[in-house]
Structure 1
Amino acid sequence: MSTLNKYKTLLILSSIAAISSCSWFSAKDGTEDIDDRYMRSQQGPELQVPPATEQIDVEDRYRVPEGVIITNRDAKGKKLSLDPPQLLLVGGDGVREDSEQAQPTVWIRHQNTSFMNYVSRFMNQKNIPVLSSSDTQVTTDWITDEDETTLANYIGSYNLDGQRHRLTLEIVGQNANEIALQARNTESQRLVQDKWAAMAPSKTVASQFLNAFLGYYDTERTKEARQRILEEGTINVNLGTNQQGNIALTAEREFLAVWDQMPKVLEDLNLTVSDRDQSAGIYYFNVKEPETGFWAWLWNDDEDNPKVEMEPGDYQILVETTTSGVSMTFKDDEGNLLDANIVTRIYPEFAASFKSRAKQ
């Protein structure tokens, strides 16, 4: 046989073996076809010693220990799950796995009594049908690969293809600053010959369902943390007076928070910072002459004009620490206080600009 024919023969044999091996994984009834022919195996013939061969000392070399009796002859193969292993997502802040639980369970750092609100929002956002709910648990209705939900993207077509599942998320433990959340695959069915047949619940499906929630929960908590940071960065400015009783803008914040925001506020109002002196607490800025006329309109130069009603020229803002926060006093280029009417007129624009900084 030529080398080419040998390769062709090997290719054909390997193809036949691959095709025949596929039937091992799936039976016609929709269950895993585990080969259990080993259960029907019979004892082979006794060892025959060929003529002219010395006797083999079987008793000593191949002795079976006395008292050994095989009593459990139940098939083990079909009881084994073919589901791939599934790890829990415990990379989020304050999330740890409880490996001692029989079902997928995590401890989540949470001190708020409204934790189940996150579970409800998760169900709504993912369009997951809810069968029942309480203060400590939520159980889904049937989830299949044909539902108009995004859950199949999370727990995978391997587990949803031709199957449907009901799952539960439940708080099964709680301490001072943590709750234990457990996922269970309460019911599972497989489509066999156009009929739903019961199948064993899958721990893998439960783990993937819990992972889907943990991903959502981590995203929501990140959004909330960002919102808190933005809110903490908000500077609410009011019209008031400084320590000397002169009209000024006031804020219940520390000096540096206001000082660091000032350049952005002035820029937002199209006012140019010309200098600053932190030791004296003074910002120097300029109000330029507004552009007018046809060419300003044509090139949209009017968008660069000052957004406050102040005469063109140089000004100062004195930022001082007060007993309740910070005051901002407006002066002209020579250090004289601006008229109270001017400060009252420009107050809304400055207040709005300080507050809008938190949205960036």
Structure 2
Amino acid sequence: MCRSFIVQYWIPASLVASLFISGCSLFPEEVTEQSAVEAKPVAELKVPAGLTAAKKPAQYDIPPAPNAPVTEVELKSPMQVLALATNSRVEEEEKEARIWFERSEFTGELLPYLKKNVLDFGKEKQIEITQKDQEGLVFETGWVSRFEEEGFWLWKDMVEKEQSRFLIVLEPKPHRRTVGVRVQLLEHRFIENDTKLSAIAQKREEVYFLNRLVDKVATVELVQINLKKAQSRHITLTTGFDAQGDAAMITGQSLDASWAQLELLFEQNGFVVNDLDRTKYSFFLTYTKPETGFWDSLWSDEETIDVPLTEGDYQVVLTKAEVGTLISWRDSEGKVLSAEQVSALHQALVKIIKKGNIEL
């Protein structure tokens, strides 16, 4: 009993002693303040003669402005002038809603071209545009409305929210090959309240209207580009005979180009490519006359091109010619079509080539 008591007493006693010895680590004293480290000045960098010293970081510091007024914060994404037309550009650090156009092969005389686009834009969007000077460089719009969709499901409606009037100014360079188009907000009003637009919101209205005008110019330009491309495309596909005296079609395109263009021709024209052999430049096709339903004939404006082939399987074999490629049309058994069949088929394929802008 006595030994047990001594052991039990010795354990807590030894624990107290150990805590007392290590007390400095368990209960640290308050850390005394350390003396400030003296900053040693750095010697100024000596720049050799003839060289320029690098800019110091302090030169980029923003100076304090304790009494500066609180400026407006724009919470919307920034509005940018979009140079959608190929001959348009926006100058860096431009402060106004302005874009520059350069004369190109599609514009002709640039200033009359832009004047016409401005007036046509007003007609399409039903916006009144009035010329305000004798030279035709300044135009003023009527009220341009902006609508928002309100309501739910079948009860949705477009409600007019605000109106704006703009000034459109054409700014030609002295040589007239470069013309700037600038838009300025003249007047704005909200339909439901008398709130005034902020300076940032005014700029957004100007840029938004200018982008719509530039989109009009880009659309007209794209039509002109496609028209000129179609006019310049020369269809070389004709009829002739191969070395064996069999009827064939001849194109000025290379063998590989003709192969790729025929793949485009077969699509959506009643031909299904069942198999092909690129090593022998051979297509194995099935032709089925496209079905034209009542609704297709009623709503579709596209002309249906009749291919003079009976439904069934065919082979098309390409071979290299002295100039271009020979295209041989054969039936399912490999027999070459007659000259009359090839001639009639050629006339239909030319129409398909023009319609699909295919180069053959």
Task: State the TM-score, normalizing by the size of structure 1.
Answer: 0.48
Larger Rg, first or second structure (1 or 2): 2
Task: State the TM-score, normalizing by the size of structure 2.
Answer: 0.48
